[in-house]
């Protein structure tokens, strides 16, 4: 049984019902147990006993102490599954975005997003599918590997990516604003595969 730290917070962004839907799905997953905290400022001293973290929040500030704790955790082999507004947090912290592999730069209204599989090995048998959510746009590291894209202004933009940070692994997924996204079976498969991969 892999022990996972779920860092989840928000009433309006991310919306409470979407977070609750995600939490219910995660707790049904075989092979994982979850301990929830509400902020990276609550990362425990013994964070290395956790196989991975799930990040689903939108916070403005992080202290250097806890940013360093997160950085060292991932560099030393920890896994992170980051969802939606995780990349919109801590906008003034370059090291945080180096960990995640992307920095949020904007989004439009909630609408239909079609996620197209880029023949990824990790997500190999998940077909293209659609959700209603916010399509986040990012400034991206050139070190990421893109697994799903969506169309935006006649261009394909990354919506699911992975990358390595030190000896750790990171997976980021754009959808996460609506409970409908969290209830989508194909998206649940993406989240589960992502968590399995970062904790291998």
Q: Is 186 exposed, middle or buried (0-12, 13-18, 19+ CB in 10 A)?
A: middle
CATH fold of the domain at 2-198: Rossmann fold (3.40.50)
For residue 6, name the pLDDT band (cuts at 50, 70, 90): very high
Q: Give the model confidence (pLDDT) of 104-151 as tens digits.
A: 999 989 999 999 999 889 999 999 999 999 999 999 999 999 999 999
Q: Give the model confidence (pLDDT) of 124-134 as tens digits.
A: 999 999 999 99
Q: Give the model confidence (pLDDT) of 80-95 as tens digits.
A: 999 999 999 999 899 9
For residue 76, name the pLDDT band (cuts at 50, 70, 90): very high
- CA–CA dist 175, 191 (Å, integer): 10
Mean residue pLDDT across the chain: 96
- What per-residue confidence (pLDDT) applies to 119? 87
Q: Give the model confidence (pLDDT) of 22-39 as tens digits.
A: 999 999 999 999 999 999
- CA–CA dist 195, 173 (Å, integer): 11
Q: How many CA atoms lie within 13 A of 80 on its CB side?
A: 33
């Amino acid at each position: 049984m892999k022990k996972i730290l779920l860092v989840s917070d928000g009433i309006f962004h991310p919306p409470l019902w979407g977070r609750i839907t995600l939490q219910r799905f995660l707790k049904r997953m075989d092979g994982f147990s979850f301990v929830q905290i509400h902020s990276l400022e609550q990362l425990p001293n013994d964070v290395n006993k956790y196989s991975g973290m799930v990040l689903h929040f939108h916070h403005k500030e992080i202290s250097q102490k806890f940013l360093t704790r997160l950085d060292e955790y991932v560099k030393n082999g920890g896994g992170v599954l980051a969802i939606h507004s995780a990349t919109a947090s801590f906008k003034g912290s370059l090291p945080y975005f180096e960990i995640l592999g992307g920095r949020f730069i904007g989004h439009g209204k909630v609408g239909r997003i079609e996620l197209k599989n880029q023949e990824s090995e990790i997500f190999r048998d998940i077909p293209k599918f659609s959700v209603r959510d916010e399509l986040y746009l990012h400034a991206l590291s050139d070190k990421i590997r893109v697994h799903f894209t969506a169309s935006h202004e006649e261009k394909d933009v990354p919506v699911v990516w992975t990358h390595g940070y030190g000896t750790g692994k990171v997976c980021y997924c754009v959808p996460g604003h609506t409970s409908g996204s969290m209830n989508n079976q194909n998206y649940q498969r993406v989240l589960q595969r992502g968590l399995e991969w970062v904790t291998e």
